[in-house]
Amino acid sequence: MTGLLQNKISFSSIKDNLCDMFNSNAKTPLIDAMQNYKKNPMTGFHIPGHNRGAGVHPKLIDLIGKDALALDCTDEFDNLGTLHPATGAIKQAQELAAATYGAKRTFFITSGSTSANLALAFALTSPFDEVLIGRNCHRSVLTGLIISGAKVNWVIPKKLNDWSIFGNIEAQAIEEKLKNNRNIKLVWITNPTYEGVVSDIKKISEVCKKYKAALIVDEAHGSLWNYNQKLPTTALELGADAVVHSLHKTGGAMTQASMLHLSKNSKFEEEKVIHALKLLHTTSPSLLLLASLDAARANLSSSSGQKMLNNAIENAIYFRKEAKKIENLSVLENNVEIDITKLFIKMKGLSGLQLEYILEHDYKIEVESASDAGLLILSNIGNTRAEFEYLIKCLKEISQKKYKFEHENIKIMPLIDPEIVMNLREAYFAPKELIDKFDAIGRISSQVVALCPPGISILLPGEIIKKEHLPYLFTYDKIEVIRE
């Protein structure tokens, strides 16, 4: 069955667990190599100095267990392979991932999609290259462009003002930008948004082709899409040249483990990306994180992983249906397309932050994130129906109670159109001064202000600071501006 997962897994193609035994996607070369490493310990005189856990504080052993420490190693052992260059079991695991995702080449990353974005920017853009970027991009894309010195052009996604979030990016908006600036040779957008809103990547990639611009899609929050027909289609199938996946976010890999894919027909030179990754990635990648990528891919390809994903989707459908019956509760829908596993909700009379507080303190429920406008719940492969039933019960109860909070008014944050007056990199390195934020209105920012999660920039070096920025600067007394 090699390569079958290059497209989405069809449920009928996986009849039972037996199938998995003959499925090359079920192979786990790196997990197997790690098993072997664990079973055949050697006398070690190398990094990491704790030597399979012998040199750590007993409390750490207590906390995470001997096994985890015995497996904490980097890629310098023959039977495990190396990451840069890819050799041995690591190379095999990357190749299996590439086949599963339908990519020409897949790279494993142990420092998150942040590093994948940094490497793409560093590899593919040069000083003053013009790049078109969705304003809702993760700050790592911009950090990458500070490193490279490329010039940012913004495409502003649709504004969902009622929810205080950005929505989809329209192909037409991209076409207008490309038509008016023929120097733009790279378009870089985020899809889906953190809250699950999906853009029409097929149309966007057609526009990019028309204007001979390459397309990068930061699909950090869409790493499950390849594995189920009910989820949106991955940009790897829709004409993107490179795609980034945070497998650690929703795919079942361990925190910080991500993948960077070059698509089958990618315009990008593999060697440039390899070189950038080598320079920017840690030289001591954690084998535990790499093995977790191997496991996540194999799990999602297996019949049991498919069941987990199907449950996550069914739970999300259940939640959406039940939430409709709760007075004053709304769930974000999109008239274009949405990843249904991401549940962005709001309850009349409460801010998202207040609702988060109640869920946490009164019901011991932790959500993904909250803002004044709403609160994000993820229906994950690790959640059960019982957990969703409990959540619905709690929301029902909350909707029927009256809460009193010290600050009753709910702030709705404005979605601000940036005014760029200086190149990002120039502004970042220009002489600067720290001034009171109220005196900063009208001045040029030299600071990156990005609320995390999801790490979307509010203000960047080279942009004019406006009155509308002030609500976002509530934790700042002073702000760094370009010296006049």
Q: CB burial class (10 A; 0-12, 13-18, 19+) of residue 246?
A: buried
Give the shortest CB-190-to-ligand PLP separation in angstroms. Answer: 5
Q: Residue 294 and residue 98: Cα distance in Å, rounded? A: 11
Give the shortest CB-246-to-ligand PLP separation in angstroms. Answer: 4
CB 482 within 8 A of CB 444: yes
CB 199 within 8 A of CB 168: yes
Beta bridge partners of 436: 478
Q: Residue 291 and residue 24: Cα distance in Å, rounded? A: 17
Alpha-carbon Rg for the chain, nearest whole angstrom, is 23
Smaller CB distance to ligand PLP: residue 138 or 432? 138
Closest CB to ligand PLP: residue number: 112
* 449-451/258-263 β-pairing: unpaired
Give the shortest CB-454-to-ligand PLP separation in angstroms. Answer: 4
Smaller CB distance to ligand PLP: residue 7 or 255? 255
Range list of H helices, 71-216: 88-101, 112-124, 139-148, 171-180, 201-210
Smaller CB distance to ligand PLP: residue 194 or 268? 194
Smaller CB distance to ligand PLP: residue 33 or 155? 155
Q: Which 8-state DSSP code applies to residue 80?
A: T
Q: Residue 455 and residue 20: Cα distance in Å, rounded? A: 38
Give the shortest CB-114-to-ligand PLP separation in angstroms. Answer: 3
Give the shortest CB-39-to-ligand PLP separation in angstroms. Answer: 31
Smaller CB distance to ligand PLP: residue 150 or 220? 220
Give the shortest CB-147-to-ligand PLP separation in angstroms. Answer: 16
Give the shortest CB-362-to-ligand PLP separation in angstroms. Answer: 28
Smaller CB distance to ligand PLP: residue 108 or 194? 194
Q: Maximum CA pair distance of the chain?
A: 70
Give the shortest CB-293-to-ligand PLP separation in angstroms. Answer: 12
Q: Which 8-state DSSP code applies to residue 93?
A: H
Q: Following DSSP, what letter does each residue of 142-174 receive, concatenated?
A: HHHHHHH-PEEEEEPPPEEGGGTEE-PPPHHHH
Q: Residue 264 and residue 402: Cα distance in Å, rounded? A: 56
Smaller CB distance to ligand PLP: residue 120 or 355? 120
Which positions touch ligand PLP (CB under 6 A)? 112-114, 117, 138, 140, 190, 194, 218, 220, 246, 258, 453-455
Smaller CB distance to ligand PLP: residue 190 or 380? 190
Q: Residue 29 and residue 33: Cα distance in Å, rounded? A: 6
Residue carrying the six token digits 């929703």: 250
